[in-house]
Amino acid sequence: MSETKKLSTEAYKGVRDFYPEDEAIQQYLFSTMSRAVERFGYARYDASVLEPSELYKSKGAENEELVNEQTYTFIDRGDREVTLRPEMTPTVARMVAARRRELSFPLRWYSIPNVFRYERPQRGRLREHWQLNVDLFGSSSIEADVEVIALAHAILKEFGATEKDFEIRIGSRTFLNELTARHRLSEDAAKSLHTLLDRRAKMMIGEFEVALKEYGISLGEINAGDVPNDVRMILDHLAQLGITNVRFDPSIIRGFSYYTGVVFEVFDIDPQNNRSLFGGGRYDNLLSLFSDDLVPAVGFGMGDVTLRDFLEVRGLLPAYTPPAKAYLAIAGSDNGSISDSIALGAMQLADELRATGINVAIDFGDRKLGDQIKAADKQHIPFVIVVGANELASGTFTVKELATGEERTMSRGDLIEGLK
């Protein structure tokens, strides 16, 4: 037996294990996101991670890096081609299209799915991430774009960020279309220009400029384009809502072929985190994959990885608190002969406290009292209650607050109030 090679304890490349302290942060991220979006009336939905691969192979998506190089795709036992969702937008479009006759519009939906992309793992980029998806269906009004961008802003405020911490950059597919028309680019050339613009952030500026010249386009045209009308109106309305850390950036065009109008990304101002926090835009034709009914849509995705980095560098993550408020340590176990009645008494006391809403974990008393208290401290449990034969008989307990070392003696009845 001892000669068999042991398995590695490492997780699969590019995915994370969530030990309790990390999981607590995840749940904090998710609950804060939910609170912010539900304030705007968005309802939560969910779906499976598995989708038929054809969902991602629609016309227009041929050039996408995501679909061609980054999907986890396999053949199931029934010979069907299956993909682990790399994003939620095609899934939610499918779900809305399926019930388009029963649903009432404008429809406001959100979800926090995990999505899978075969990327080179690096800071801010992993192979599995959780992504808040917020989408508004059934309105082509510019106010829908404004609402969605204002909501992205509200989410970061909910986490305690200020306008100085991030910037919203708005681009426009209209601007891109005008650019390709002005330079009379063929459909193929337009698509490869699109890919080039999308990769801009990953390139050296000189390299980017040279590549642009191949299309007869100067850097100045990209940098100093006039603000298109739709973007101007959005900026104006956002300003009236008090949102000013937003600007037109013609180089924001987004990698997905389904966007049709305004697109946007939210960037962390900290140079350490040079990845976008949110990406989204208007996609008025995606639902036409499923039916002839027109259902305009606008929304965004926000990833947990970049959000966590954003909050971490600013000290905006909460300290860990364990579920247990109190730990019952068993006294009198030094010789290892804890009598059944003490253990049982501790369990009964724990149940009494739990019934009043106090979370309690108990030790089984097979270590010295000091070690039991150390264990509670290591888990950051705030209170230890010592339970021994004397305590159970007298109904008086010593409660130790670990942060201060302060000890108090309390009757059984006072414990509940004392711990609250």
Question: Which residues contribute to the site for ligand HAM (CB under 6 A)?
Answer: 87, 89, 117, 119, 125-126, 129, 131, 133, 135, 276-280, 299-303, 305-306
Cα separations (Å) of 360 from 274, 311, 396, 401, 406? 43, 31, 18, 14, 19
Q: Which is nearer to ligand HAM, 76 or 312 (CB)?
A: 312
Please report how close the Cβ of residue 80 comes to ligand HAM at its closest, in angstroms.
Answer: 23
| Greatest extent of the chain over all pairs of C-alpha atoms, in Å | 92
380 Rama class: left (phi>0) / alpha (psi -120 to 50) / beta? left
The verdict on whether omega for the bond into residue 323 sits within 30 degrees of 0, i.e. cis, is: no
Q: Which is nearer to ligand HAM, 176 or 376 (CB)?
A: 176
Q: Which is nearer to ligand HAM, 56 or 278 (CB)?
A: 278
| 33: amino acid identity, one letter | M
Neighbouring residues of 183: CB distance < 8 A, sequence distance ≥ 6: 215, 216, 217
Q: Which is nearer to ligand HAM, 13 or 213 (CB)?
A: 13
Of 215, 219, 227, 224, the residue nearest 175 (C-alpha): 227
- Residue reference for tokens 């986490």: 159
Please work out, in degrees rounded to the nearest 5, the angle formed at the alpha carbon of residue 55 by the alpha carbons of 53 and 58: 110
Please report how close the Cβ of residue 305 comes to ligand HAM at its closest, in angstroms.
Answer: 4
Q: Which is nearer to ligand HAM, 279 or 388 (CB)?
A: 279
Pairing of strands 276-282, 297-303: antiparallel
Please report how close the Cβ of residue 18 comes to ligand HAM at its closest, in angstroms.
Answer: 15
197 contacts 191 by C-beta, under 8 angstroms: no
3-state secondary structure of 261: coil
Percent helix, percent strand, percent coil in the chain, to nearest 5: 40, 20, 40
Beta-bridge partners for 264:
170, 280
Q: Which is nearer to ligand HAM, 280 or 382 (CB)?
A: 280
Q: Which is nearer to ligand HAM, 109 or 383 (CB)?
A: 109
Please report how close the Cβ of residue 402 comes to ligand HAM at its closest, in angstroms.
Answer: 37
Please report how close the Cβ of residue 286 comes to ligand HAM at its closest, in angstroms.
Answer: 9
Please report how close the Cβ of residue 259 comes to ligand HAM at its closest, in angstroms.
Answer: 8
Q: How many CB atoms lie within 10 A of CB 267?
A: 21
Please report how close the Cβ of residue 299 comes to ligand HAM at its closest, in angstroms.
Answer: 3
